[in-house]
Amino acid sequence: MKLILLGPPGAGKGTQAKRLEDNRGYVQLSTGDMLRAAVAAGTDVGLVAKDIMARGELVPDEIVVSIISERIDLPDCKDGFILDGFPRNVRQAEALDAVLEEKGLSLDAVIELSVDDGILISRVENRASESQGSVRDDDNAEALKTRLGVYHEQTAPLITYYKNRGILRTVDGMAHVDDVSRSVEEALGPV
Residue 67 half-sphere exposure toward CB, CA atoms < 13 A: 26
Q: How far apart are CA 50 and CA 98, in angstroms?
A: 28
Residue 78, classed as helix, strand or coil, is coil
1 C-beta neighbours (distance < 10 Å), count:
16
Q: Which of 5, 20, 29, 32 binds ligand ADP (CB under 6 A)?
A: 32
Minimum distance from residue 189 beta carbon to ligand ADP (Å): 26
Minimum distance from residue 190 beta carbon to ligand ADP (Å): 29
123 belongs to the catalytic site: no
| Rounded to 5°, angle at Cα 49 from 93 and 121 | 75
Q: Which of residues 78-117 bind ligand ADP (CB under 6 A)?
A: 85-86, 88, 92
Minimum distance from residue 110 beta carbon to ligand ADP (Å): 14
Q: Which of residues 118-157 bind ligand ADP (CB under 6 A)?
A: 138, 147
Give the x-and-dash track for 34-53 against ligand ADP (CB under 6 A): -x----------------xx
Q: Does 59 bind ligand ADP (CB under 6 A)?
A: yes
The interface region with ligand ADP, picked from 16-24, 30-38, 157-165, 179-187 by CB under 6 A, is: 30-38
Burial of 54 (0-12, 13-18, 19+ CB in 10 A): middle
43 C-beta neighbours (distance < 10 Å), count:
13
| Rounded to 5°, angle at Cα 103 from 102 and 109 | 100
Please report, as ranges, the residues that interact with ligand ADP according to CB under 6 A.
9-10, 31-32, 35, 52-53, 56-59, 64, 85-86, 88, 92, 138, 147
